[in-house]
Amino acid sequence: MKIGFIGLGIMGRPMALNLIKAGHQLGVYSRRKESCQAIIDAGAQYFATPKDLAPHVEVIITMLPAPADVEDVLLGKNGVINTVKPGTIVIDMSTISVVATERFAERLAKKEVAMLDAPVSGGEQGAIDGTLTIMVGGDAQVLEKVQPIFDVLGGRTTHIGKLGAGQTAKACNQIIIAETIVAVSEALSLAKASGVDPEKVREALMGGYASSRVLEVHGERMLKDTYAPGFKAALHRKDMHLAVDQAQHVGINIPAATYAMQCLDRLVLKGHGQLDSSAIHLLVED
């Protein structure tokens, strides 16, 4: 397929490379052309703006940090909407709000462009390995057309429901991860403060109901005190604010998620936003 890929950061770069390796033709755009160089070297064509890219492709994927970034590339003065062909499919794989997703889709629909929201979980390694978990909202028939793309990028694709449902599923994912990071950190800190080897405690817990990928991966980071980002705290903070905002929008209270969000707020305020979100452990240790 002829695919436009916008957003070539930690996640987007390996995803784009995997699509090229699978035989898809890629056009790419990034605000910093140098971030695209590996993709260009692999055979992608670089475009100076999303507006320049849009008429040359049949599918456009966005993988961007925040709602404002997605809005700019889709609807801005140099955005996709200005030149996109009817029948094009836009897949937003960013993590943004349901409200923003619905608004973008409504505008694109006036150009006869279908949109799916398809946020992912699995981190940088999942993007590299092509094993991401993909949560899709939108029309099932549109999803069927682009399933070959998702088969390259992910190990599991789930059609959650209507447009925006993918973003809701991602919010739920981020809540569980953030709360579990806090729980793992508190547990390891309790072990240490009690004079018990936290490594041995983690080893034991990995064999029971407390076992999780967070305990395995993030717990190891906490024990080694190394926080090179798999997923930056600043981005996780953004996602948690989206989740708490959505809870308020639908009228429910999620206090544990709110506390985890506040931990990420404090971590970023301390200047640690570029560390992995497991660096919450630094706060707990304090």
pLDDT, one tens digit per residue, over 268-279 is 999 999 999 999
| Strand (E) or helix (H) holding 201 | helix 198-205
When divided into structural domains, the chain yields a total of 2
pLDDT at 123 over 90: no
In angstroms, the CA 87 to CA 98 distance is: 23
Q: Which of 145, 162, 170, 238 is catalytic?
A: 170
Using alpha carbons, select from 209, 218, 147 the residue that is nearest to residue 188. 218
Instruction: State the Cα–Cα distance between residues 78 and 212, nearest whole angstrom.
Output: 44
Q: Are residues 173 and 141 in the same domain?
A: no
Q: For residue 189, with 0-12 CB atoms within 10 Å meaning exposed, 13-18 middle and 19 or more buried, which class applies?
A: middle
**Of the candidates 161, 180, 195, which is a domain's last residue?**
161
Same domain, 37 and 135: yes
Q: What pLDDT shows up at residue 42?
A: 95
147 lies in the same domain as 201: no
Residues 231 and 247 reside in one and the same domain: yes
pLDDT average, residue stretch 57-76: 96
Helix (H) / strand (E) element for 92: namely: strand 89-92
CATH number at residue 198: 1.10.1040.10
Say if residue 153 is in the same domain as residue 100: yes
Handedness of CA 275, 277, 279, 284 (dihedral sign): positive
Residue 118, pLDDT > 90, answer yes
Q: Is 28 exposed, middle or buried (0-12, 13-18, 19+ CB in 10 A)?
A: buried
Q: Are residues 208 and 277 in the same domain?
A: yes
Over range 145-149, report the average pLDDT: 97
Q: Please determine, for residue 33, whether its predicted confidence score (pLDDT) is greater than 90.
A: no
* Dihedral sign from CA coordinates of 235, 231, 192, 188: positive
* Pure H helices in the chain: 12-21, 37-41, 50-53, 67-75, 98-109, 123-129, 140-153, 165-193, 198-205, 213, 219-224, 233-250, 255-269, 280-285
153-203: pLDDT as tens digits: 999 999 999 999 999 999 999 999 999 999 999 999 999 999 999 999 999
Pair (71, 176) in one structural domain: no
Tokens 């957003």, residue located = 7
Residues 13, 80 within the same domain: yes
Residues 141, 21 share a domain: yes
Residue in the block written with tokens 């817990």: 205
Q: What distance in Å separates the CA atoms of residue 278 and residue 268, rounded to the nearest whole number?
A: 12
pLDDT level of residue 230 (50, 70, 90 thresholds): confident
User: Is there a single domain that holds both residue 136 and residue 203?
Assistant: no
Element at 69 (helix H, strand E): helix 67-75
Please give the distance of CA 41 from its chain centroid, rounded to a whole number.
25
Helix (H, G, I), strand (E, B) or coil at 157: strand
User: Are residues 249 and 186 located together in one domain of the fold?
Assistant: yes
Our answer to whether residue 85 is catalytic in this structure is no
Mean pLDDT of 135-164: 97
Last residue of a domain, one of 126, 161, 196: 161
Cβ proximity of 184 and 222 under 8 Å:
yes
Q: How many CB atoms lie within 10 A of CB 118?
A: 31
- The reply to whether 102 and 137 lie within a common domain is yes
DSSP 106-121: HHHHTTT-EEEE--EE
Residue 209 has pLDDT above 90, yes or no: yes
pLDDT above 90 (res 121): yes
Mean pLDDT of the chain: 96
CA distance 25 to 4: 8
Q: Which helix (H) or strand (E) holds 267?
A: helix 255-269
Q: CATH code at 118?
A: 3.40.50.720
Last residue of a domain, one of 161, 187, 212: 161
Asked whether 145 and 32 are in contact (CB, 8 A), the reply is: no
Mean pLDDT of 21-36: 91
Return the pLDDT at 89: 98
Full domain range(s) for residue 212: 168-285
Provide the pLDDT confidence category of residue 36 given band limits of 50, 70 and 90: confident
- Asked if residues 179 and 280 have their Cβ atoms less than 8 Å apart, the reply is no
